[in-house]
Structures are given as C-alpha cells and as structure tokens.
Amino acid sequence: MHRYHIIIEYVGTNFNGFQIQRKGKTVQKFIQSIISKILKEKVTIVASGRTDSGVHATGQSAHFDITKRINNINKLIQSLNFFLNKKLVSIKEIKKKNINFHSRYSAKERIYKYLILNRLAPPSIDLNRVLHIRKKLDLNIMKKGANKLLGTHDFSTFRASNCYSTSPIRTLKKIIITKRDETVMIKFRSKSFLRNQVRSMVGCLILLGQKKWNLKKFQKIFKSKKRKLCAPPASSQGLYLDRVIY
C-alpha cells in the first residue's frame, strides 16, 4: 500500500463543506470520485479537518492510500485538475509519504485566515469570498482584543452547540491582524480549533472594531464561557483554511 499527501485549494461557496454528508455536494466526495476514476481504484481521502459549508481553503491537507505507486505525479496533477477546476477545486501538490503519516493526527499546527472587505462599496470580484463591512473598523482595539485570546484557555464561549470535541480547552499560539488597502486579514494559529471557534472569535472582534463593544465587555464575555453571550459568528464566506503544518 502506498500513501500520498495532497494539498487542496477550493472555493467553498457551492459546496456543503468538505466532509462527505448524506445529502448535498461536498469537496471530499467530488475529489474522491475524480481520483478513483483516474486511478481506476476506489480511493478514500482523509483530511486534516473539516471545513463548513461556504468555507474556502488555500491549503487544505489530506492523504489517500492506493495499491500501486504513482509513476508520474505531475501528469496526475494535470489530469485531476482538468476535471476539478470546473468546480473551482485544485490539487496544488501530491507527495509520496510514509504509511505512518496522517493528515489529521500528524498535524502540528493549523492556520486559518479571515478576510474582511472594509469599504463602502460591496465586492464584485471577491463576491462570496470576503465579508463586507461598510463602517471603518478600529484595528487597534481589535488587536488588543485578540491579545486577550492568546494562550491556553477554555473557549466555550466560541464553541458551537454541535461541536464534537471532548474538551473546550485550546491553545491559540498567534493572532495577526493586518490591513492592506481595503482588506483586513485576521490570521489564527493553533494546533486545533473547536467547531465555529474562528468565526465566533471574528464575530466578537468585529463588534470591538465597530465600537459596539468595549474591551472590558469583550473580555467578560470571553471569560463567561457562555455561548449565548457570544456575538453571531462571522459569515463563512470570509473564512479560509490557509495552511496545515507538520
């Protein structure tokens, strides 16, 4: 048996998330069907983690096993992308790995980014790929709020009610907030995240940036561990799985 590691890019707008579900189109099901067809062997993809409906990826990581070694990886990438690109999915890399490699359990860190278009006019080119906010955001107070989230904490406030993780404790290693022209980018770095954690944190940071909350209220709600006090999660259209580090 041979194991291969793949890096995937996709626009999640027209998919019901990455992971296969009983109903709806998913990225995993789509890729598996194309790979299985080309390799003439049933292939199951194991990803580093699921992304929800509408969420995008520039560096989703996954692996699959096949019985025969791939002789020409570049040719396979081209063949796969001929079919995948029609649905705005791309295989960026394929690498041979040791059978002990696991795309999920071998991961040391995951990086998510969230994009906000902060201007009066709505997006055209980036439609469904950024969150549009008209009111100018105060990045300084957003950065102060982000600093309160760093380290190891109970993130129950930002945890979805249907989250399957056994513990709400997570360690946020880094949060970077930058602005280039009209786009605000927030990057989160951690070994793992709770379901809806990133979007929920962004939702709260946005209320800070809009000055609807002050820093004291932000910190009080975070420490409360009460989901009902959390801001509405930011839209999935601005969220990207940026990179998985091994």
Q: What is the pLDDT of residues 179-231, one digit of tens each?
A: 999 999 999 999 999 999 999 999 999 999 999 999 999 999 999 999 999 99
| Average pLDDT of the residues of the chain | 97
Stretch 120-127: mean pLDDT: 97
pLDDT of 87? 97
Local confidence band at 105 (pLDDT 50, 70, 90 cut-offs): very high
Q: Is residue 52 annotated as part of the catalytic site, yes or no?
A: yes
Helix (H/G/I), strand (E/B), else coil: 58: strand
- Considering the chain, tell me which residue range(s) the CATH 3.30.70.580 domain(s) occupy: 2-97
Which residue in 52, 138, 181, 242 is the catalytic one?
52
- Considering the chain, tell me which residue range(s) the CATH 3.30.70.660 domain(s) occupy: 114-238
pLDDT of 118? 98
Local confidence band at 22 (pLDDT 50, 70, 90 cut-offs): confident
Q: How far apart are CA 227 and CA 205, in angstroms?
A: 15
Stretch 70-90: mean pLDDT: 97
pLDDT of 164? 86
Give the residue carrying structure tokens 């009080």: 220
Identify any residues that bridge with 65 across adjacent strands, giving them in sequence order: 3
Q: Which of 37, 124, 109, 110 is nearest to 76 (CA)?
A: 37
pLDDT of 101? 98
pLDDT of 39? 96
pLDDT of 52? 93
pTM of full prediction above 0.85: yes
pLDDT of 23? 87
For 74, how many CA atoms within 13 A lie in the half-sphere containing its CB? Answer: 0
Strands 109-118 and 46-47: unpaired
Q: For the domain bounded by 114-238, which CATH number is listed? A: 3.30.70.660
3-state class percentages of the chain: helix first, strand second, coil last, to nearest 5: 30, 30, 40
pLDDT of 205? 98
Digit-coded pLDDT (tens) for 35-72: 999 999 999 999 999 999 999 999 999 999 999 999 99
Rg (CA), the chain: 19
- 2-97 topology per CATH: Alpha-Beta Plaits (3.30.70)
